[in-house]
Amino acid sequence: MLRGFYTAASGMLSMQRQQEALANNIANANTPGYKADQATLRAFPEMLIHQMGSQTVPTKQPKNFPVQNPIGSINTGVYVQEYVPSYVQGSLKETGVSTDLALIDGVFPDETGSIFFTVQNENGEARYTRNGNFTVDGQGFLTTTQGYYVLDQAGNPIQTGGMEFTVTPDAQLQVGGMTIPLGIAYAPDANQLEKEGNGLFNGEAGPVPAGAMFTVQQGFLEQSNVDAVQTMTQMMESYRSFEMNQRVLKAYDESLGKAVSEIGRIG
């Protein structure tokens, strides 16, 4: 009985964590470049149940030996193993603002590969983002709305001197007669990147390999890839699953109560 109690409780905890991920997706449905998190559920290892018994050996002095007869397996619950972002291309929205840039995926040598803008966080470390909602700070540097420097291919902040610049489809920023290659990073396995908040990713990424095809669109923003309708449906399904596990837990609790107050009563 207690095993079933813990199995139902693990189901409730898993649905709660899934609800948190779905709620975060809904909250970022209008965040440019946001990649929706998907909770992956995994069952705990199954347990093989045996029937404990004994067998008598017909000898001059009969002896009993313990034996185990396999009955079958039983599942011991479920848990959220990890949150995996979906890197599906979000739709494009035209803004007409010169500092807004959108990455358009093309053909990559790796099935799980993806490209990102390279920025510098407050600690001077390189991070990656799909949010091209950039601006120009008071010193003329191209930055994110959080104030992180956008980096060029050499890893240096980009000085534009203002908003009058052009970005070509092949990621070349042209300003004042100079051409500055944008720091476009390629992650061969984007699933290995970790979210850090503010639309930033941390992990292994490097130069775009030969043969990879992509486009940079100036004056556009990549929208969040959250499907609001589908996410709301998933939230309802998760809530129903939580309710069902809650009812099972309540039934086990009532059974334990009867075992203590009625079955275990003496006299």
Contact call for residues 33 and 129 (beta carbons, < 8 A): yes
Same domain, 72 and 96: no
pLDDT (tens digit per residue) in 3-33: 677 788 888 889 999 999 999 999 999 999 9
pLDDT tens digits, 39-78: 888 776 665 566 666 666 676 676 776 776 766 666 667 8
In this predicted structure, what is the pLDDT of residue 72? 62
Assigned token pair, 99: 């500092």
Is the pLDDT at 264 greater than 70? The verdict is no
| Domain interval for residue 72 | 2-83+227-263
Residue 8 tokens, joined: 């139902």
Is there a single domain that holds both residue 105 and residue 204? Answer: yes
Same structural domain, 110 and 214: yes
- pLDDT given for residue 250 in this prediction: 86
Are residues 259 and 197 part of one domain?
no
Q: Are residues 26 and 76 in the same domain?
A: yes
- Do 11 and 130 fall within a single domain? no
pLDDT beyond 80 at 244 = yes
Beta bridge partners of 214: 105
What is the chain's length?
267
pLDDT at 266: 56
Let me know whether 168 and 191 are in one domain.
Answer: yes
Q: For residues 251 and 165, which has the higher predicted lDDT (pLDDT)?
A: 165
Q: How many CB atoms lie within 10 A of CB 200?
A: 21
The number of distinct structural domains making up the chain is 2
pLDDT level of residue 258 (50, 70, 90 thresholds): confident
Please tell me whether residues 176 and 63 are part of one structural domain: no
Same domain for 136 and 172, yes or no, is yes
Q: Quick one: 206 and 118 in the same domain?
A: yes
Q: Which of 190, 115, 111, 189 is nearest to 153 (CA)?
A: 115
Contact criterion met (CB below 8 Å) for 77 and 43: yes
Q: Does residue 105 share a domain with residue 70?
A: no
Q: If you average pLDDT over residues 242-263, what whole number do you get? A: 81
Residue 168 above 80 pLDDT? yes
Q: End-to-end CA distance of the chain, in Å? A: 25
pLDDT at position 128, please? 97
What is the reported pLDDT for 40? 85
- Residues 10, 124, single domain; the answer is no
36-45, 115-124, 167-176, 209-218: least confidently modelled range:
36-45
How many other C-beta atoms can be found within 10 angstroms of the C-beta atom of residue 87?
20
